[in-house]
Chain A
């Protein structure tokens, strides 16, 4: 029975490869990886807002080609973040902050090539493990989720948001506020169920509501540029050049660290499926590796394990974040949220039905995850000096260019100047939020999922005639709701434990 199931997935996967391996799609894959690495290297352009800016360009493409290109941008950005961390001690992406701890010291010791090779290879390994998991687990989850009704869906969404509050590094109340702001912004405009106008206060411009793409471009793009400017960055970096010998030597050394790598994969996959995302995964993996290591004092001075652990976990988390997005319609990271928004725009309903109704799309995407990461590994290993050169372009040129790109991106979402002004407002908000430790990921997620969460909540209420008991009425919904409550109260439980210990 299990064997039969696996056979079916393998079959589907091969069909997916047939979809992904057409000439135009391979072309999009390369374009995606190149753009992604570029985005990952440049400050102010990250995975989430890079994909958001490019999304409008894909409206005319077939959904399969579009998702292949956009997800490759995501892989590229994951690879690119490591380059700046190791050579310049500047994390190009939040998930590569942990890579700077040991990557940069390695570069200072003249071992930049080894650090880069180790980072790229571990990223690849992390992604591969996560894709394998997605391949075999996603169809099972999707099949299981076919039995979900509105209460179960709302419970899953509750779990997502509750785990944000319980697990986030930021203060729980601020996480809650940011999230509610996202929900409130999502509710502005025409209510799809009753056709009532909500929270427009007579402003015609508010009729169509707030677009999450504009929010993402502002919060992550403009906000990041303002923060970078404030630090007055001068990029001073090490030379990055990788010879074939460096690669082979490092590869020979890597199998020694299989245990670190395996732990990092597990942490990454777990954090990706639950909406932890790549950034906390990389920190957690680094911390665990340091705690378990026989020479913890070497960490921070250029230990290769300190590069392997965060990179593997970040890539594994980034990849497995697509599992809940595809199967349940719940993205595990901001970038996955943007991709999910893309699915909706292309007219695809994410969720369990996607696996039965849009087989080509789903399996094409999964196949492209394998191929995209292989392409990505080859591209980054061969082109590192080139990317390092881009980083030497002074910030006084890069900053205005990125602002222009963000403005164009915000405009093309709806061809409206109002969105460009909004982008600026969101940018200032992103800057302030970052400083005050209001997390932005839950805001974006709530903005994307707001309508869906509200719909499933209202449908459940309709079924139960207004009683909240429906969320515990079936064993399935009850279990998920219970888990959500545990997640929500997690910080409180930790505090109680501390208290009881004295």
Chain B
């Protein structure tokens, strides 16, 4: 996106409606596969979902038509998100995604510590010491709450092994 530009509402509207169409196709094909008619002992498993899929498809078709009809009039003026705001959103979304991926490798405690500390340093311009202290505090609190008090094990990585837990 160019500076000062925005994502147009009409494109996102179409994109989401298209996703709905895709999903409804998945629902409808599978309902037909398992049977959407009247079986020997009552309605087949696809009976109910079949209509759900049809209604979803109908709604999506309506939204697509509506968007297309307003296409000229709208002329891309309606804003889904401004460039700056979108940028800010990504600054949250990307670290969050990295954090979720990191849980797989590092376990939730270490990943949380790093995520919180890194976010504070990077976004809040806090000192390393302060950020790591807050991250440690939250991780430790989580550990005590879940592993010791509630006995609900959360995902762990090499660090917990290494510490002998």
Contacts and interface: CB of A to CB of B under 8 A. Distances in A.
A421 B59 CA distance: 28
A485 interface: no
Given A184-B52, A432-B16, A454-B48, A404 B112 contact: yes
Contacts of A227: 89
B146 interface: yes
A408 B146 contact: yes
Contact of B49 (A56, A199, A230, A394): A199
Contacts of A292: none
B60 interface: yes
A465 to B, nearest CB: 8
Given A173-B59, A173-B62, A417-B104, A458 B48 contact: yes
Contact of A403 (B12, B88, B96): B96
B116 A174 contact: no
A193 B47 CA distance: 12
Interface in A153-193: 173-174, 176-177, 180-181, 183-184, 187, 191, 193
Interface of B is mostly: helix
A198 B49 contact: yes
A230 B89 contact: yes
A198 B45 contact: yes
A411 B154 CA distance: 8
A435 B48 CA distance: 30
- Among B16, B96, B153, the one with the most A-chain Cβ atoms within 10 Å of its Cβ is B96
Contact of B154 (A177, A196, A408, A458): A408
Contacts of B104: 417
A225 interface: yes
Contact of A412 (B34, B96, B154): B154
A205 interface: no
A435 B80 contact: yes
Interface string A368-400: 000000000000000000000000001011011
A57 B150 contact: yes
A184 B49 CA distance: 6
Interface size class of A (residues with CB under 8 A): 35 or more
B124 A397 contact: yes
B119 A199 contact: no
Contacts of A199: 26-27, 30, 49
Nearest to A59: B152
A428 B34 CA distance: 31
Given A226-B93, A404-B116, A457-B48, A181 B43 contact: no
B12 A436 contact: yes
A232 interface: yes
B49 A187 contact: yes
25 contacts: A57-B150, A173-B62, A176-B55, A176-B56, A177-B20, A177-B60, A193-B45, A194-B44, A198-B46, A198-B49, A201-B26, A229-B91, A230-B88, A396-B120, A400-B99, A404-B112, A415-B152, A420-B100, A424-B97, A436-B13, A438-B16, A457-B48, A461-B42, A461-B47, A462-B42
Interface of B: 9, 12-13, 16, 20, 23-24, 26-27, 30-31, 34, 38, 42-49, 52-53, 55-56, 59-60, 62-63, 80-81, 85-86, 88-89, 91-93, 95-97, 99-100, 103-104, 108, 112, 115-116, 119-120, 123-124, 126, 134, 138, 142, 146, 150, 152-155
Interface of A: 56-57, 60, 173-174, 176-177, 180-181, 183-184, 187, 191, 193-194, 196-199, 201, 222, 225-227, 229-232, 394, 396-397, 399-401, 403-404, 407-408, 411-412, 415, 417, 420-421, 424, 427-428, 431-432, 435-436, 438, 454, 457-458, 461-462, 466
Given A407-B99, A411-B154, A462-B43, 6 more contacts: A183-B49, A226-B92, A396-B119, A401-B116, A408-B142, A461-B47
